[in-house]
Amino acid sequence: MTTATVKARQTVYDIALEQYGTCEAVGEILALNPQITNDPEALVQLGIDSIGETGFYLDVAVAPGTQLRIDDESGLMRKNTLKELGNDITTYRYGQND
């Protein structure tokens, strides 16, 4: 097991791609990290009252700085890299002008 630190604007899909090489690992990330929460700022931007709502939104950014457990020996690992990316994998956008 290893850990990964969530970067600003990363969704659970971004984390799965970055750490496992496939979006198929989303379920495993969620199972290993039941404490995972969305970024409160992202929820506010979407008009979601994080205090009154329960659950986790897959398509909303994860709280940055969160430490996540990653199973580096998982059968879901697909880390055959053709080219190393120079940028972080982040797809979530807070607003239309970002």
Mean pLDDT by 10 residues, the chain (98 residues): 95 94 95 96 86 80 97 85 63 61
pTM: 0.79
**Domain spans in the chain, listed from the N-terminal domain onward:** 2-70
Beta strands in 1-98 (DSSP E): 2-5, 67-70
Strand positions, DSSP E, 12-89 = 67-70
Residue 3 has a pLDDT of 97
- Tell whether the torsion through CA atoms of 85, 87, 92 and 98 is positive or negative: negative
Q: What is the pLDDT of residue 94?
A: 62
Q: Which residues are 68's β-sheet partners?
A: 4
